[in-house]
Structure 1
Amino acid sequence: MRKIVNGRRLAARSAITLVAGVLTAGITAAPAAGIEGYATEVAQSAIADMSTREGISPAAAAEILRTQDASARTLGQLSDRLGDRVAGGYLDANGKPVVNVLDAATAEQVRASGAEAKLVRHSSQALASAQSTLESVPAVTHTSVGLDPKTNQVVLSVSSAAKGGDLAALLRTARQLGDRVRVERVTGEMTLAILNGEAITGGGTRCSVGFNTNKGGQNYIVDAGHCTRAVSQWNVGPSQGASFPTNDYGLIRNTTGSAPGAVSLYNGSSQKISSHAPATVGQRIQKSGSTTRLTSGSVQRLNVTVNYSEGAVRELIQTNALANPGDSGGCLFAGSVGLGITSGKGSGTSYYQPVAEALTAYGVTLNP
């Protein structure tokens, strides 16, 4: 969501240090105590969130952070090797890999690789077909459709703000698809959120810096497309591209002379971003934004289509991390691994454009 600055334009800073998704000054990365790839403050935020939200001990939460990156890689490797014999996967409550399989023989192969196998009814193709059918119905604002591998279903989320004749057709279609689809009722609107890191401003609008990148010696910021479409000149440089709706990524040419690959934690320190990867359901994540600053949560769904008032955006990541207006464009990450760019929010949810798609689209690479 983009935050509009009422009555005045925020002044641009004369000296700006862009730290992956945030404007910040004089930030240095602090090593995480005992958790590889995590700055101390990020690990502390994630552990506190898990202890509060999930009721687990700090020691158990820390062990999940140590485990989940390898678990996510295991899921990817098994999915690549076993192909359409698997139907997705996720990380369990302990951060361990669970692979959905369609037959007992594949389950044995999964277990032999050290992961848990779960026999499910619906193939990835069947769920993709169900999602495509739902998305063929005329779009209803304030609804979303996404994949939940934990239940082996497509989830249709319908907000209390969703209304109109097409809503009846959408719900009727969901019923016709049987147990491949679960309907979930939520409150509030689904709105764009301009977040992540410290603020960038332009044209009376505030967003947050996404990921610092480069191409051919020139620094760029990959950000939310609804931000770069709305504003041509930011206090950090001009917009160079926008893909929105359908996608939600854009590009800003960074003219400040500073673009380290790190995320501001809003306490004088930062988290280094050294790589990027796809998000995994169940993965514990962090988000940095200029309104809500550093928040933590977990990935709930993937491949989510969100029907904003401005248009549908597809293939988003859904999490339960807090995000609010002014955060748009900011970083979603898990320790040192970049995952996404803040797009919008619902009631108790937040949505992110996968960062890999934006990097590929613009031919840019993450800054060290």
Structure 2
Amino acid sequence: MRELLRSAVAAGACALLAGALAPATAFADPTVTIEGYSTDVRAEAVSALVAERGLGTASAEALLRTQEAATSALDAALAQLGDSAAGGYLDESGAPVVNVVNESAATSVEGVTTRLVTRTTAELESARDELEALPQVSHTAIAVDPVTNQVVVTVGEAVIGAAGTAGLLAAAERMGDTVRIEHVAGGFEPAIYGGEAITGGGSRCSAGFNVNSGGQDYIVDAGHCTAAVSQWNVGPSVDASFPGDDYGLIRNDTGSAPGAVSLYDGSVQEIASASDAHVGQSICKSGSTTGLTCGTVEATNVTVNYPQGAVHELVQTSASAGSGDSGGALFAGSVGLGITSGMGEDSSFFQPLTEALGAYGVRLN
């Protein structure tokens, strides 16, 4: 049992009743390689792009090849434009697009497509802040959508009849087309799974990323996991930030902590760096319940109102997640992006990895 535990952690995952999972479905030619992508991650990411966007295999592979350069160009343009930009995203083809609020800004940057929009970042954030200042309503989420240049309020059906719902919806409607209201089935819950025992508790999570500081190895994980369980099979929880944020730290006492993420089929994805996610980015997630799943970033800087409290600045994706996936890794090829926080009916939510690394002063292994 000790050797099984070490093996799972070495692959970047808690060996907590992981279970057998089928390999990723491969639509792509297995002889084709994409720098930074393991074979299984490339195959699953291509499959998701084909299914979600209707791309051909060759187009999906081309998108993955250029995605890291596209996100770098997007970051550079947003930094250059400052307040003249109103967010940015990767379009369906993977090309970087930056929203601008004046014509002069539209012609001042290279390497990205600029799009003139009517609402500034300040205006969108003001509307968002006004909605977040209202009494918290569980099973709702608030985000800024750069594609439509709107604030989006997502309401799960679990919220029907809850106190404060009518006030939230009325305030959103008063803001006109600055705010869009969307209704989804179910609600939003942290992706922790109760009832299957681990050392020191009755909950199961997934490990995120192996990191180190001062010669000691740690695992950055979901804060709602480390807040709930003091001792894991791999070592003790040493910190938790939840709600508000959703990151935590586990001391890794196994003696094995390479910089890789388990894909739950016997293979791993090497992780070489960390970055922030962008809307439209093709991503994958690894977790001990659903294994390797891929999709697209739907929103960033999302506030999710879980029953336990609000968590801010999350990344929302279309990759599927299930109970027990909490803490699992979100990544794009060899770039780490986030830590699994929770799930809704058709979306999953992730704590940004860069924030957690900065909070703890740790480095990826």
Q: Deviations over 1:34-69 (max 9, x none)?
A: 311101110000001111222211000001101111
CA contact (8 A) 1:64 1:95 kept: yes
Matched, 1:16 2:13: no
Q: What is the TM-score normalised by the length of structure 2?
A: 0.92
Q: Which residue of structure 1 aligns with residue 114 of structure 2?
A: 117
1:292 & 1:361 partners in 2: Cα distance?
28
Letter aligned with residue 62 of structure 1: E
In the alignment, which of 150, 157, 167 is matched to residue 147 of structure 2? 150
2:80 & 2:36 partners in 1: Cα distance?
27
Residue 33 (structure 1) shift: 3.7
CA contact (8 A) 1:305 1:314 kept: yes
CA contact (8 A) 1:23 1:200 kept: no
Residue 32 (structure 1) shift: 8.6
CA contact (8 A) 2:192 2:326 kept: yes
Q: Which residue of structure 1 aligns with residue 206 of structure 2?
A: 208
Residue 165 (structure 1) shift: 3.3
1:355 & 1:296 partners in 2: Cα distance?
17
Residue 79 (structure 1) shift: 0.9
CA contact (8 A) 1:21 1:264 kept: yes
CA contact (8 A) 2:139 2:156 kept: yes
Letter aligned with residue 13 of structure 2: V
* Change over 3 Å in CA distance of 1:319–1:32 after alignment to 2: farther
* Change over 3 Å in CA distance of 1:329–1:201 after alignment to 2: farther
2:86 & 2:12 partners in 1: Cα distance?
33
1:133 & 1:352 partners in 2: Cα distance?
24
CA contact (8 A) 2:199 2:232 kept: yes
Secondary structure in 2 matching 1:165: coil
Aligned pairs (5 A) from 1:25-104 = 33-104=32-103
1:283 & 1:329 partners in 2: Cα distance?
20
Q: Percent identity?
A: 56
Secondary structure in 2 matching 1:87: strand
CA contact (8 A) 1:223 1:330 kept: yes
Secondary structure in 2 matching 1:347: coil
Aligned pairs (5 A) from 1:1-368 = 15-17=5-7, 18-19=9-10, 21-23=12-14, 33-110=32-109, 113-162=110-159, 163-194=161-192, 202-367=200-365
* Change over 3 Å in CA distance of 1:200–1:136 after alignment to 2: same
Q: Deviations over 1:211-244 (max 9, x none)?
A: 1000000000000000000000000000000000
* Change over 3 Å in CA distance of 1:20–1:279 after alignment to 2: farther
RMSD across aligned positions (CA):
1.8
Secondary structure in 2 matching 1:62: helix
1:15 & 1:323 partners in 2: Cα distance?
23
Secondary structure in 1 matching 2:304: strand
2:341 & 2:204 partners in 1: Cα distance?
14
Secondary structure in 1 matching 2:108: helix
1:201 & 1:342 partners in 2: Cα distance?
21
CA contact (8 A) 2:101 2:116 kept: yes
Residue 335 (structure 1) shift: 0.2
Residue 176 (structure 1) shift: 1.8
2:97 & 2:64 partners in 1: Cα distance?
16
CA contact (8 A) 1:286 1:297 kept: yes
2:290 & 2:359 partners in 1: Cα distance?
29
1:83 & 1:220 partners in 2: Cα distance?
36
2:327 & 2:82 partners in 1: Cα distance?
33
Q: Which residue of structure 2 aligns with residue 8 of structure 1?
A: none
Letter aligned with residue 261 of structure 1: G
Residue 358 (structure 1) shift: 0.8
* Change over 3 Å in CA distance of 1:173–1:19 after alignment to 2: farther
Residue 20 (structure 1) shift: 5.8
2:327 & 2:199 partners in 1: Cα distance?
12
Work out which structure has the larger RCO, using CA pairs closer than 8 Å and 6 or more positions apart in sequence: 1
Residue 177 (structure 1) shift: 1.8
Q: After TM superposition, what 4+ stretches of structure 1 lie above 2 angstroms from structure 2? A: 11-15, 31-34, 199-202
When the two structures are aligned, how many residues end up with a matched partner? Answer: 347
